[in-house]
């Protein structure tokens, strides 16, 4: 970014490291997402009034958001991306106590599906791999059912803005940014918003006898106002909403996690890497200790292992989600910057939306994947 000019980009849409040491990756434990100087550079290259969107993890969001604010950005909102496909990584305290005391926990059955905790007494090979255990020692029995973590189900996203110069109107006229594309990000609906021909909005059941409503009533299906909540459309999430079976969750934009097709479009001819599905973890990276091997077996039973992928980046965001976010904060024909490009999901999305794109990443391997995915988007935009 230091090589870029001041006020040279219209928006920043990025997925920085969450600083969790995810899958043992060094780039996810460097502290760069908390570095104020990084965000000061982002502020410098962004036009006055331009918006920044940055993902983070539920445990580390606060540190990134404070760094962004301390760099000079105004925090405008927090968007939540909610999903039902998170895999719990809780440590079984009772089992750990038995192990520390040199006691074997009691095997009471077998997990047929660890994702749904369905127990069976089957003897098939898959069931044998992930047995549910009961504590044996008195100490462990006191802590039966206790763990150390919740199932991940959301990722917070900061929405920030570079300070305006003057009023919103003046900033928009001078710099071409400063607002959110509300109509461009509305959530589709069949409901009709009625207005008079002179633009006065009216409700469907309002009396039309007044003088203000003598003109023709025009109906337009413009969609619901975008919210600071995005979900993956999964049954688990939709069921949380009242009258979910009638589609009430449609009031929010929804987007599933990145599909295999989405990840690999444009990567014909790239080497295929076997990874844990959704995690990008090479199989050889599982340790030989008991806990690592159990995690590997659980992943196998979950159907999340030996995923052959050309795009083996561990944190690929879905293109539809990134398109929505780019569209929300970028003016027509604008330039989108992603200083943590990864495998290029933001770039692919920006190109498909008709924007120009600048991406930066430290990994030459991921840059090549990103370039191929973005080239595919250019051909298919």
Asked whether residue 278 is domain-assigned, the answer is: no
Q: Containing domain of residue 371, as a range?
A: 9-85+152-185+317-380
pLDDT digits (tens, 9 = 90+) for 186-245: 886 544 444 444 444 443 333 333 344 344 444 455 678 889 988 877 777 777 766 645
Are 145 and 94 spatial neighbours (Cβ–Cβ below 8 Å)? Answer: yes
Is the same domain home to 41 and 128? no
Is the same domain home to 141 and 218? no
Is the same domain home to 208 and 339? no
Burial annotation 171-188 (CB, 10 A radius, 16+ → b, else e): bbeebebbebeeeebebe
Q: How many helices (H) does the chain have, and how many strands (E)?
A: 12, 18
Is the same domain home to 103 and 142? yes
Taking Cα atoms as reference points, which of 69, 9, 12 lies closest to residue 341? 12
Is the same domain home to 47 and 167? yes
Is the same domain home to 176 and 95? no
**Strands, DSSP E only, in 266-334?**
273-276, 281-282, 307-309
Under DSSP, the state recorded for 249 is: G
Return the pLDDT at 293: 59
Return the pLDDT at 378: 92
Under DSSP, the state recorded for 226 is: P
In whole angstroms, give the CA distance from residue 130 to residue 134: 13
In whole angstroms, give the CA distance from residue 33 to residue 59: 13
Residue whose tokens read 């998170």: 86
Asked whether residue 65 is domain-assigned, the answer is: yes
Is the same domain home to 168 and 198? no
Q: Which residues pair with 92 in a beta bridge?
A: none
DSSP H or E segment with residue 12:
strand 9-14
- Torsion angle (degrees, nearest 10) of CA 243, 246, 249, 252: -140
Asked whether residue 112 is domain-assigned, the answer is: yes
Domain boundary among 198, 222, 246: 222
Are 177 and 171 spatial neighbours (Cβ–Cβ below 8 Å)? Answer: yes
- Relative to beta strand 133-134, strand 118-120 is unpaired
Is the same domain home to 133 and 170? no
Asked whether residue 179 is domain-assigned, the answer is: yes
Is the same domain home to 30 and 133? no
- Apex 237 CA angle, 64 and 260, nearest 5: 75
Residue 362, token pair as written in the block: 């430290």
Residue 277, token pair as written in the block: 């599905």
Taking Cα atoms as reference points, which of 9, 2, 1 lies closest to residue 326? 9
Taking Cα atoms as reference points, which of 69, 112, 224, 94 lies closest to residue 148? 94
Asked whether residue 231 is domain-assigned, the answer is: no
Return the pLDDT at 145: 87
Strands across the sheet with 193-196, in order? Answer: 201-202, 193-196, 217-220
Asked whether residue 70 is domain-assigned, the answer is: yes
Number of domains in the chain: 3
Residues of the chain whose pLDDT is less than 50? 111-130, 190-219, 244, 277-283, 301-306, 308
Is the same domain home to 80 and 98? no
In whole angstroms, give the CA distance from residue 353 to residue 45: 21
Q: Which pTM was predicted?
A: 0.76
Asked whether residue 293 is domain-assigned, the answer is: no
CATH number for the domain spanning 358: value is 3.40.50.150
Is the same domain home to 134 and 180? no
Q: Which residues pair with 161 in a beta bridge?
A: 51, 74
Total count of residues recorded for the chain: 381
In whole angstroms, give the CA distance from residue 344 to residue 267: 12
Return the pLDDT at 261: 72
Return the pLDDT at 142: 93
- 3 state SS of 89: coil
Is the same domain home to 26 and 78? yes
């Amino acid at each position: 970014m230091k090589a870029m000019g001041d006020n040279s980009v219209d928006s920043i849409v990025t997925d920085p490291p969450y600083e969790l040491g995810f899958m043992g990756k060094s780039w996810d434990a460097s502290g760069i997402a908390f570095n104020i100087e990084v965000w000061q550079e982002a502020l410098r290259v962004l036009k006055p009034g331009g918006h920044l969107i940055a993902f983070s993890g539920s445990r580390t969001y606060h540190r990134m958001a404070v760094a962004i604010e301390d760099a000079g950005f105004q925090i405008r909102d927090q968007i939540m991306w909610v999903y039902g496909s998170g895999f719990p990584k809780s440590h079984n305290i009772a089992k750990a106590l038995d192990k520390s005391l040199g006691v074997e926990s009691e095997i009471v059955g077998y997990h047929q599906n660890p994702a749904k905790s369905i127990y069976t007494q089957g003897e098939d090979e898959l069931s044998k791999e992930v047995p549910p255990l009961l504590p044996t020692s008195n100490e462990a029995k006191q802590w039966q059912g206790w763990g150390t973590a919740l199932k991940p189900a959301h990722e917070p996203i900061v929405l920030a803005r570079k300070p305006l110069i003057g009023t919103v109107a003046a900033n928009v006229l001078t710099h071409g940014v400063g607002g959110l594309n509300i109509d461009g990000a509305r959530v589709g609906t069949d409901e009709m918003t009625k207005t008079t021909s002179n633009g006065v909005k009216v409700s469907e059941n309002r009396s039309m006898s007044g003088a203000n409503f003598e003109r023709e009533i025009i109906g337009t299906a413009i969609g619901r106002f975008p919210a600071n909540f995005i979900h993956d459309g999964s049954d688990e999430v939709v069921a949380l909403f009242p009258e979910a079976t009638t589609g009430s969750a449609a009031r929010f934009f929804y987007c599933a996690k990145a599909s295999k097709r989405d990840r690999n479009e444009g990567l014909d001819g790239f080497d295929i890497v076997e990874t844990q599905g959704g995690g990008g973890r090479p199989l050889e990276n599982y340790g030989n200790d008991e806990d690592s091997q159990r995690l590997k077996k659980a992943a196998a039973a979950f159907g999340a292992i030996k995923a052959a992928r050309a795009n083996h980046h561990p944190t690929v965001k879905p293109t539809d989600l990134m398109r929505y976010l780019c569209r929300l904060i970028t003016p027509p024909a604008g330039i989108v910057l992603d200083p943590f490009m990864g495998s290029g999901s933001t770039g692919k999305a920006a190109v498909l939306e008709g924007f120009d794109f600048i991406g930066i990443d430290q990994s030459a391997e991921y840059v090549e994947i990103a370039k191929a995915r973005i080239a595919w988007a250019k051909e298919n935009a």
